Amino acid sequence: MKTKRSLSIGVILLVLVLLLIGGSVMHAQDATPEATPSFMGDPAYPAPAIPTGVDWLNVAAPLTLDQLKGKVVLLDFWTYGCINCMHMMPILNQLEDKYGDALAIIGVHSAKFANEGDTSNIRQVIERYGLKHPVINDNKFTVWSAYTPYGVNAWPTFVVIDPRGNLFAVQAGEIPEDAFEEVIGGMIAQFDKLGEIKRTPLPIKLESDAQPSGALSFPGKVMVDAAGKRLFIADSSHNRLVIADLNSYSVLDVIGTGASGLKDGGYSEATFSKPQGMALKGDILYVADTENHAIRAVDLAKKTVTTIAGTGKQGYAKTSGLPLSTNLSSPWDITVGNLNNLYIAMAGDHQIWVLSLDTNSVGPMVGTGQEGHADGDFLSATLAQPSGLVYKDNALYFSDAESSTVRKADIDTNKVTTLAGTSADDLFKFGDVDGKFGDSLLQHTLALTLGDDGKLFVADTYNSKIKLLDPTTQEIKTLFGLGGTGGFHDGSSTLAQFDEPGGLAYNAGKLYVADTNNDAIRVVDVAAGTVNTVTFPNPDVLQIANAVTVVGSNAAAGASVTVDAQTVKAGSGQIMLNLTLPDGYKLNGTAPFLAEWTSDNAAVTIADKDKQQSIVAPTSPLSVPVTLTEGKANVKGDLTIYYCEAIKESLCFIDRVTVTIPVTVAADGTGTVLTAERVITPPQVTTGSITG
């Protein structure tokens, strides 16, 4: 839990403490002989109305508290980079499943970081974490301010409103499910007896319904095995790991069913929950299984998965113990160190932990467990959601996400020092400034990795940039990323764009990037200064049951269209592709039109340089030069077309299609142009009125 104005961390409350406003917002007892608790709020304290002028997501239209009368309303004030807020997401999902339409959860997203206040970024987080309730973008803190007099000043904070629209309770921090159930269940039961519970469904329109399923879903981390020539990918929101050939990117294995769970066993039966960091030692791949609060060991020779630390339950004690009986808290990254130790970036505890494979023990090593940014001895330093970790020469370098810094924990001296980002103990001091320590500013750094010369590549995540840090001079500079805004573009350092990259790995002059919000793995040729996107030649291996499409492949997995057969004459010709969008839509100005053209016969020849297209803001029609020789051929174009609503651009979509053109080249042919058209129809999705 963190406050907006200050970052002193309170003790996490395990019982719902009721806010007192003058008198109690809750009546302590009913006037019945049984003295049963009254779950009615005080009519003297009606809940403040939700201000207009805010963006709504996951719902067909903005809601008002008057519309929600007859339901228990739970307001969740959160921001998406906050680990405490993430911890509450599964609990909120469980409450929704248990109480159904008698409960209305409204997420009030009041952003800490500037990047978190963007509606499109919130939309992606809703999809990433599978949120099913309406969410307000409260980036101007209008809803927050309306509730501040009643105790809203921290992330997360929960407000309970009774079915008559009266305030009942306000509480900050992580709250266990049973405390919620006692209050919400009791309130529903009491108002049900009065006939006042209304179970009319809310007009939910899930943001995820607008998004095609992809080969990868918000990949969190990436790791390279140079000796084995393998690329390991944490396909986090698909709850699995992917192993690909480092050269061809052919998928070699998929570890996990794709379902969220904590089950050991073979690759095809094991389950994970939002896995992140990975580390390799021999034939064992160690995995930070973040939402399972566990460390898993994958035996790559036997193809089995075993839990080696954690109970599956989140822990708060921050104490050492036997690995399988100690509760962990959101392990986000892991690295192999000295003395057969595994070091863990324990984001949920704001510490670095050590798992000793020799002594079979696990526990905190760096950080008090209080969230903050203070250097010093291991036992007195404070960290803030460490999320990336690398070991070298008896030192741990780590990205400290919520302090927006890169820091070093020297095991020889037991000292923590900051190398880049703010020098202040202020979790609200962030930005995008290159330079030496003391001047530089970063924004929610999630990953780092070592280069050949001891310099660190850093994922400046919320600035959507890749930076290079020299630990010796403590100077950091931008390598890739334009203007700090998220986007998708391959090419040179002056063109390439990323969108909240969360994972990095380096090998032999190439930097591998888990480009989280782009659902992609990108490869940076450091010497050449270019970026390319990994495409899988066998994407069918990655398809999940009921998926709509497969992303990032050489073969489109969306629609297939065969146009009318065409007869043309020999000579120099071209493929002419017309793109037709419905009224109110336009091609995306930042994500490129992608195409890969092939021909199954020499009757139509496409030069190697023209087989692949990547065009930002293309104009229709698009053309590809070809050489025509008498004979027959089928020409195929695997197309990826990004397009958006034309005015507010509040929704963007991806259209994937394979277009086939049957061609005959003959002396009596007409012209030398092969024509094709793609008529795009957007999904039937309503995502809520935007009034601001």
Which of the four pLDDT bands, split at 50, 70 and 90, describes residue 43? confident
Q: Tell me what the mean pLDDT of segment 563-574 comes to.
A: 94
| Tens-digit pLDDT profile for residues 294-339 | 999 999 999 999 999 999 999 988 889 999 999 999 999 999 999 8
Provide the pLDDT for residue 22. 30
Which of the four pLDDT bands, split at 50, 70 and 90, describes residue 652? low
Does the pLDDT at position 181 exceed 60? yes
Which of the four pLDDT bands, split at 50, 70 and 90, describes residue 485? confident
On whether both 506 and 573 belong to a single domain, the answer is: no
On whether both 106 and 178 belong to a single domain, the answer is: yes
| Residue whose C-alpha is closest to residue 231's, from 240, 239, 222 | 222
CATH number, position 112: 3.40.30.10
CA distance 528 to 262: 42
Which of the four pLDDT bands, split at 50, 70 and 90, describes residue 548? very low
What's the token pair of residue 128?
């990433």
| H/E run at residue 178 | helix 177-193
Residue that is written with structure tokens 């793109």 in the block: 579
On whether both 235 and 281 belong to a single domain, the answer is: yes
Angle CA 69–72–74, to nearest 5: 115
With respect to residue 686, please indicate whether it lies within any of the assigned structural domains.
no
Domain boundary among 209, 233, 266: 209
What's the token pair of residue 332?
């986000």
Provide the pLDDT for residue 689. 28
- Residue 580 burial by Cβ neighbours in a 10 Å radius (0-12, 13-18, 19+): exposed
Q: Evaluate whether 248 touches 529 at the Cβ level (below 8 Å).
A: no
Provide the pLDDT for residue 571. 95
Looking at residue 254, its amino acid is V
Classified as helix, coil or strand, 606 is coil
Residue that is written with structure tokens 């500037």 in the block: 114
CATH number, position 412: 2.120.10.30
What's the token pair of residue 488?
């998708």
**Cα Rg of the chain, angstroms:** 27
| H/E run at residue 128 | helix 119-129
Largest alpha-carbon pair distance within the chain? 101
On whether both 448 and 359 belong to a single domain, the answer is: yes
Q: Tell me what the mean pLDDT of segment 382-398 comes to.
A: 98
| Tens-digit pLDDT profile for residues 605-639 | 999 899 988 786 678 788 999 999 999 999 999 88
| Residue whose C-alpha is closest to residue 690's, from 284, 137, 33, 162 | 137
| Tens-digit pLDDT profile for residues 274-293 | 999 999 999 999 999 999 99
Does the pLDDT at position 17 exceed 60? no
Kindly report the average pLDDT of the chain as a whole number: 88
Domain boundary among 151, 178, 209: 209
| Residue whose C-alpha is closest to residue 588's, from 678, 684, 487 | 487
On whether both 181 and 248 belong to a single domain, the answer is: no
| Residue whose C-alpha is closest to residue 396's, from 337, 436, 455 | 337
On whether both 249 and 199 belong to a single domain, the answer is: no
Torsion of CA 336, 341, 345, 349, to 10 degrees: 170
Does the pLDDT at position 550 exceed 60? no
Decide which of 262 and 590 is more confident: 262
**E strands, 173-315, in order:** 222-225, 230-235, 240-245, 251-255, 265-266, 275-281, 284-289, 294-299, 304-309
| H/E run at residue 522 | strand 520-525
What residues contact residue 649 under an 8 Å CB cut-off, 6+ apart?
none
Q: Evaluate whether 331 touches 349 at the Cβ level (below 8 Å).
A: no
With respect to residue 692, please indicate whether it lies within any of the assigned structural domains.
no
Does the pLDDT at position 546 exceed 50? no
Residue 290's domain spans which residues?
Answer: 212-316+323-542
Percent of the chain with pLDDT over 70: 88
Q: Tell me what the mean pLDDT of segment 234-241 comes to.
A: 97
Decide which of 466 and 31 is more confident: 466
Provide the pLDDT for residue 340. 93
CA distance 425 to 391: 25
CB neighbours (10 Å) of residue 144? Answer: 19
**E strands, 98-209, in order:** 103-109, 135-137, 154-155, 157-161, 167-172
| Tens-digit pLDDT profile for residues 429-465 | 999 999 999 999 999 999 999 998 999 999 999 999 9
CB neighbours (10 Å) of residue 282? Answer: 9
CATH number, position 659: 2.60.40
What residues contact residue 608 under an 8 Å CB cut-off, 6+ apart?
none
| Phi, psi dihedral angles at 506 (to 5 degrees) | -125, 140
Provide the pLDDT for residue 588. 72
| Phi, psi dihedral angles at 20 (to 5 degrees) | -100, 125
C-alpha to C-alpha distances, 523 to 406, 455, 480, 528, 551, nearest whole angstrom? 22, 18, 12, 12, 16
Which of the four pLDDT bands, split at 50, 70 and 90, describes residue 590? low
CA distance 575 to 673: 6
Provide the pLDDT for residue 655. 78
On whether both 282 and 171 belong to a single domain, the answer is: no
With respect to residue 239, please indicate whether it lies within any of the assigned structural domains.
yes
What residues contact residue 54 under an 8 Å CB cut-off, 6+ apart?
62, 136, 137, 138, 140, 142, 143, 691, 692
On whether both 249 and 310 belong to a single domain, the answer is: yes
Does the pLDDT at position 29 exceed 70? no
On whether both 218 and 205 belong to a single domain, the answer is: no
What's the token pair of residue 691?
């009034």
Cis peptide before 621 (omega within 30 of 0): yes
Provide the pLDDT for residue 160. 97
CA distance 412 to 415: 8
Decide which of 227 and 482 is more confident: 227
With respect to residue 553, please indicate whether it lies within any of the assigned structural domains.
no
With respect to residue 689, please indicate whether it lies within any of the assigned structural domains.
no
On whether both 526 and 568 belong to a single domain, the answer is: no
With respect to residue 102, please indicate whether it lies within any of the assigned structural domains.
yes
The single-letter DSSP state of residue 690 is B
On whether both 272 and 235 belong to a single domain, the answer is: yes
Residue that is written with structure tokens 């077309």 in the block: 641
CA distance 180 to 95: 8
Which of the four pLDDT bands, split at 50, 70 and 90, describes residue 509? very high
Does the pLDDT at position 359 exceed 80? yes
The single-letter DSSP state of residue 441 is B
On whether both 187 and 119 belong to a single domain, the answer is: yes
What's the token pair of residue 521?
């793995």
Domain boundary among 209, 240, 272: 209
Does the pLDDT at position 26 exceed 60? no
Which of the four pLDDT bands, split at 50, 70 and 90, describes residue 179? very high
Q: What is the bridge-based pairing of β-strands 585-587 and 631-645?
A: antiparallel
Provide the pLDDT for residue 582. 80
With respect to residue 688, please indicate whether it lies within any of the assigned structural domains.
no
With respect to residue 685, please indicate whether it lies within any of the assigned structural domains.
no
Count the domains in the chain. Answer: 3
Does the pLDDT at position 555 exceed 70? no
CA distance 116 to 259: 28
